[in-house]
Amino acid sequence: MFISQAWAQAAGGGSSDFLVQLFPLVLIFVVFYFLLIRPQQSKMKAQKEMLGGVKRGDRVVTGGGIIGLVTKVIGDNELQVELAEGVRVRIIKQTITDILTRGESVRGAKEGEEDEKPLLPQSVGGTPERKSLLASLFGGGKK
């Protein structure tokens, strides 16, 4: 007698239970969207914009941690990078992880044509000028 009354009471109000059970799943999806999906999309967008702006004279870091100087933009997906004096390699643009310094745009050079102008500022001795981190932050330099 008591069992049949208990089953009769539990049968009513099923639609509100479904919404209460669905709410935590929706909440988890919203949290994942704002903490994982959205930041990843903005990071991908920034990476795409950075790769679109790579030009001759930029000092770049590849995915393997190799630092080089862009000497030629070969195509939409390919660059020529100088790793050391006289050592040039061709790399895929998507392997670039960061641009350390922006080079000056060279005017008068045609697409695919190289000129022999130095890409980095040269000091009197012929070696590139380097500033320490503190000097670059506070505006000083080596003298």
Rounded to a whole number of angstroms, the CA Rg of the chain reads 29
Mean pLDDT of 11-37: 84
- Other Cβ atoms less than 10 A from the Cβ of 91: the count is 21
SS3 per-residue string spanning 26-37: HHHHHHHHHHHH
Count of the separate structural domains present in the chain: 2
Q: Residue 88: give the domain boundaries.
A: 55-104
- Three-state secondary-structure class, residue 123: coil
For residue 103, give both structure tokens.
Answer: 């080079």
Mean pLDDT of 92-102: 91
Q: Are 60 and 43 contained in the same domain?
A: no
Mean pLDDT of 41-47: 93
Of 57, 51, 58, whose CA–CA distance to 114 is shortest? 57
Of 142, 128, 140, whose CA–CA distance to 100 is shortest? 128
Query: What's the confidence (pLDDT) of residue 16?
Result: 76
Rounded Cα distance, 141 and 131, in Å: 6
- The reply to whether 120 falls in a domain is no
- The reply to whether 68 falls in a domain is yes
Q: Are 81 and 93 contained in the same domain?
A: yes
pLDDT band at 121 (very low <50, low <70, confident <90, very high): very low
Q: What is the pTM of this model?
A: 0.53
